Structure 1
Amino acid sequence: MDHEKVNILLVDDQPAKLLAYEVILRELGENLVVAASGREALEFLLKNEVAVILVDVCMPELDGFELAAMIREHPRFQKTAMIFISAIQVSDLDRLRGYEMGAVDYVPVPVVPEVLRAKIRVFAELYRKTRQLERFNAELEGRVRARTAELEQSNARLLESEQRRSLALAAGRMGSWDWDWVNGDWMWDEGQYRIFGVDPRSFVVTPANVQALLYPDDIDELQKATAQFAKGTKSYEAEFRIKRPDGEIRWCVGTAAATVDKGGRVVRVSGVTVDITERKQAEERQNLLAREVDHRAKNALALAQSIIRLTRGENVKAYIQAVEGRINALARVHTILSLSKWQGAEIGKLVDEEIAPYSTGDQIAFGGSEIQLQPATAQTLALALHELVTNSAKYGALSTLSGRLSIKWEMQGDVLRMVWEERDGPVVEKPVSRGFGTRSVIASIETQLGGQAEFDWRSEGLVCRLSVPLMRDMPIGQLDPHHNLALNGNGAKLTSRPADG
């Protein structure tokens, strides 16, 4: 195989010698370059790479020793092989000086062609192998750099992917874990620690520590599911509860899959945990709401039935008008409750809706604390207010333009106190017997709500005082769907609100 030719520089001030060297070395097949002086040799060296320099020791102006010293000062030629040719007897001191200047060998004159060719061949081949090795090293370093850069990019992509996965898991209230089935080592990601409510810096993931966070009633089922892996099961999915260190109960769904070796033995189990507490709460609320809607519908029908059965009228027209008025009152409060998803009705909104059909100018003023009424209370109170305002429009203050009506309320402990006060209307006389409206108010407040309704028939106007006990907050898990309670368990909720008018 043809080898790569290298430059061999022949330096001598005598042309005949240079020609002789060329003839001797021609059969090596290398590039032979001649220089008649040290300066010519330096000019060529500065522009070209040289494998071996054959230089005469005795030359005018710049002898071989001086040329060798100048060549060795250049960083690029510090390892270039130089062979001295000397026509005079060289002493040991001269040889030592030559070696110090960078010579690698001496050739005496007369030159033995075979010896010179052998020496040049060895150093040329050594130069060639060195250059090949340098190229190989450079290529290897290039490949190493490229591979390193590729690995760094791959690691960066992997890290970015892991970060995106962690963010996705965290955003989806998810966590992942890995269990080495052989040595028992566990690995949790950040989402897993977050779901269980523990600090990754202090919590040690061990079977005992994990079991301590599981809801006691769910431990047996999870242990049975885990044991199935040893029997050949490859995956499982289960819902379970955890009890965080702060006492909060969370619902989770866990999915796990086993990795087996060539022998079919389980070596690793990996899984994902998803916090489904909000979904469970939504399902619970939906079930409660369904029961509540069913109960509300039955209540509404029962109320409508009672209104129709108990309403009296002087004639059909009066009867229809009375029934429609009470049904409309029930419909208005139903609308308010529907808008709040049956969580309750704010009393100010309720009063406003019931008196709106009779409100003209500044005849009516109302206001009080902001109180959230539960659905059953709101329905009953709405019917009571309807009876009061209807009675006032027929016989009381609202039956004349000069009449005035004031409605005020406040919370005293757990009791709603409402005062209905009429004035400046027709002269009032205490009725001999209670009409349907009065009986309806008393029955709804006292019988259905366990409160009290007091009527003071003053000549200047009716004063009605209503006292209604309100239930306080109750956790959703303790709600009895057969009672008329709001889904969020809220009772009276007080905030400051100035009276209107």
Structure 2
Amino acid sequence: MDNEKINILLVDDQPAKLLAYEVILKELGEHLVAVSSGRDALEFLLKNEVAVILVDVCMPELDGFELAAMIREHPRFQKTAMIFISAIQVSDFDRLRGYEMGAVDYVPVPVVPEVLRAKIRVFAELYRKTRQLERLNAELEDRVRARTAELEQSTARLVESEQRRSMAIAAGKMGSWDWDWVNGDWMWDEGQYKIFGVDPKSFQLTSENIQGLFHPEDVDELRQAWAGFGKGETSYEAEFRVLRPDGEVRWCVGTAAATSDRSGRVVRVSGVTVDITDRKRAEERQSLLTREVDHRAKNALALAQSIVRLTRAQNVTAYVRAVEGRITALARVHTVLSLSSWQGAEIRRLVTEEIAPYSEAGQIQIEGSEVQLQPATAQTLALALHELVTNSAKYGSLSVLSGRLAITWEVQDDTLILAWVESGGPKVTKPKQKGFGTRSVIASIETQLGGQADFEWRAEGLICRLTVPLRSVVSDTQTFHELPAEDRKPAVRSRVG
């Protein structure tokens, strides 16, 4: 770019003089632009950069002084070099006027070629050097901006890192330490004291005291890692437990690195300790949850297997409908339990879910206090309610629009007492023998939950009372419908079945 030709503008209304200037300045090797009027000069200047303007003072329409004044008014050309050529003897007043208009020099006519070339060369080189300086300055500014941006980013990262470290230290999650291998001096920061649960004002930093804060089961492994520094090891990382003076155990991960002298002898060991107790507890909870999910899945499969194996019906369609209903009931209670992370189920939510398919007609009334059921109790009670509501819809009060069903419950001495009272339905007669539905309700409540199921066959409607202990529950690994041996024969169709 430094060797590129620069523009030199020649302005004169006489072609012969323009030709003479071109011949004189040709050997400079620059780009010579000749124009015959001030207007043409202005047009070229607006479109191009010009290093030097050689202009005749005396020109028609727009003379050299007027052209110079117009050029200087433009911000781009306020520093452009202009040399006036005058064929007449100029007075001091004219020279002063020319300098005021922005002229840098005068050349009289006749023109001495060597003088004109020398003057033009000086201003051309000055223009070139000025542009070089401008480019160098721009490059320098770019580098400064880039470097400043890098420093700002680096500073921001350092500040962010220090903020994270400060937050970790403030929360007692991270600490750093330093140990002089030669004289045995220790240095702990605030975070290290917090992790180990000791007061920096009263705790004396000695190797013996520090070792006493480690869990006894982890001391030997840490000693071996520590001894490795004397055998050429340069770093280590290990998980260990801290036994705080108040008895609390904290899990930590520690990293350390050794610094050696020129002979390779360890002179200092520095490290960082991070409290990972929350992570460890989360891992334990995750493991427990995994085992719990596995356990629940096995129970659900066993329950489904019992439903499929023990369901009775007169034909395939009825069998499919019965199995689907019971599996759906199981799915509903599973959803309720999932919402509480299998901590239990509120009985009102459970009852509402099971009667939902039959509640649109407004025939069902429920009432009772809030009771939280254990998962096993909730599953078994849900299936019992499903049997009752299904049979009520087929044969009882829910089979006609005039029928009514009241479900109420209360708790007495850690025992849930649920009453199922039907009325307004078809006339009821006591069946000669218990149907499959009745036997399954009794078996599930009594065998699995250690409770009691009583059925009262009134003409105006069935009353069923379920008594369920809330504290002592038979193991939830038992499957629903563990029926007596006689119930495995083909069922006889009855009112509840």
Q: TM-score, normalised by structure 1?
A: 0.56
1:266-281 counterparts in 2 under 5 A? Answer: 266-281=266-281
Pair 1:174-2:154 in alignment: no
Match of 2:314 in 1: 314
CA contact (8 A) 2:176 2:273 kept: yes
Partners of 2:454 and 2:339 in 1: CA distance: 32
Partners of 1:160 and 1:323 in 2: CA distance: 61
Match of 1:435 in 2: 435
Cα distance, 1:326 vs structure 2: 0.5
* Structure 2 counterpart SS, 1:213: coil
Partners of 1:409 and 1:332 in 2: CA distance: 20
Pair 1:331-2:360 in alignment: no
Partners of 1:370 and 1:210 in 2: CA distance: 53
Partners of 1:230 and 1:243 in 2: CA distance: 27
* Structure 2 counterpart SS, 1:387: helix
Q: Kindly provide the amino acid, as one letter, of the partner of residue 469 in structure 1.
A: L
Match of 2:288 in 1: 288
Q: Deviations over 1:17-72 (max 9, x none)?
A: xxxxxxxxxxxxxxxxxxxxxxxxxxxxxxxxxxxxxxxxxxxxxxxxxxxxxxxx
CA contact (8 A) 1:257 1:269 kept: yes
Pair 1:359-2:349 in alignment: no
Match of 1:194 in 2: 194
* Structure 1 counterpart SS, 2:394: helix
Partners of 1:207 and 1:369 in 2: CA distance: 62
Match of 1:463 in 2: 464
Q: Is 196-205 or 274-283 further displaced after alignment?
A: 196-205
Partners of 2:273 and 2:413 in 1: CA distance: 46
Q: Kindly provide the amino acid, as one letter, of the partner of residue 251 in structure 2.
A: W
Match of 2:78 in 1: none
Distance of aligned partners of 1:265 and 1:370 in 2 relative to their CA distance in 1, 3 Å threshold:
farther
Q: Is 366-375 or 351-360 further displaced after alignment?
A: 366-375
Match of 1:258 in 2: 258
Match of 1:421 in 2: 421
* Structure 2 counterpart SS, 1:184: coil
Cα distance, 1:423 vs structure 2: 3.6
Cα distance, 1:329 vs structure 2: 0.7
1:382-461 counterparts in 2 under 5 A? Answer: 382-412=382-412, 414-460=414-460, 461=462
* Structure 1 counterpart SS, 2:422: strand
Pair 1:297-2:297 in alignment: yes
- In structure 2, runs of 5+ residues without a counterpart are 1-156, 480-497
Distance of aligned partners of 1:318 and 1:242 in 2 relative to their CA distance in 1, 3 Å threshold:
same
Partners of 2:465 and 2:279 in 1: CA distance: 47
Sequence identity (%): 72
* Structure 2 counterpart SS, 1:242: strand
Cα distance, 1:162 vs structure 2: 5.3
* Structure 2 counterpart SS, 1:378: helix
Match of 1:47 in 2: none
Partners of 1:275 and 1:203 in 2: CA distance: 20
Cα distance, 1:159 vs structure 2: 10
Partners of 1:195 and 1:277 in 2: CA distance: 10
Distance of aligned partners of 1:307 and 1:240 in 2 relative to their CA distance in 1, 3 Å threshold:
same
Cα distance, 1:422 vs structure 2: 3.1
Q: Deviations over 1:227-282 (max 9, x none)?
A: 22222221111112223344333222111222223332322222222222222222
CA contact (8 A) 1:196 1:242 kept: yes
Match of 2:378 in 1: 378
Aligned positions, number: 321
Q: Deviations over 1:140-182 (max 9, x none)?
A: xxxxxxxxxxxxxxxxx99997565322454692222222333
Pair 1:213-2:213 in alignment: yes
Partners of 2:367 and 2:273 in 1: CA distance: 51
Cα distance, 1:446 vs structure 2: 2.4
Instruction: Give 1 or 2 for the bigger CA radius of gyration.
Output: 1
Q: Deviations over 1:443-476 (max 9, x none)?
A: 222222333333343444313223133479xxxx
Q: Kindly provide the amino acid, as one letter, of the partner of residue 466 in structure 1.
A: T
Q: Kindly provide the amino acid, as one letter, of the partner of residue 385 in structure 1.
A: L
Partners of 2:278 and 2:476 in 1: CA distance: 20
* Structure 1 counterpart SS, 2:175: strand
Partners of 1:343 and 1:350 in 2: CA distance: 14
* CA RMSD across the alignment: 3.3
Q: Is 443-452 or 229-238 further displaced after alignment?
A: 443-452
Q: Kindly provide the amino acid, as one letter, of the partner of residue 233 in structure 1.
A: E
Partners of 2:203 and 2:431 in 1: CA distance: 76
Cα distance, 1:386 vs structure 2: 0.9
Q: TM-score, normalised by structure 2?
A: 0.57
- In structure 1, runs of 5+ residues without a counterpart are 1-156, 473-479, 485-501
Distance of aligned partners of 1:467 and 1:458 in 2 relative to their CA distance in 1, 3 Å threshold:
farther
Distance of aligned partners of 1:481 and 1:322 in 2 relative to their CA distance in 1, 3 Å threshold:
closer
Distance of aligned partners of 1:343 and 1:180 in 2 relative to their CA distance in 1, 3 Å threshold:
farther
CA contact (8 A) 1:451 1:469 kept: no
Cα distance, 1:371 vs structure 2: 4.0
Cα distance, 1:434 vs structure 2: 2.0
* Structure 2 counterpart SS, 1:448: helix
CA contact (8 A) 2:419 2:464 kept: yes
CA contact (8 A) 2:449 2:468 kept: no
Partners of 1:409 and 1:448 in 2: CA distance: 20
Match of 2:349 in 1: 349
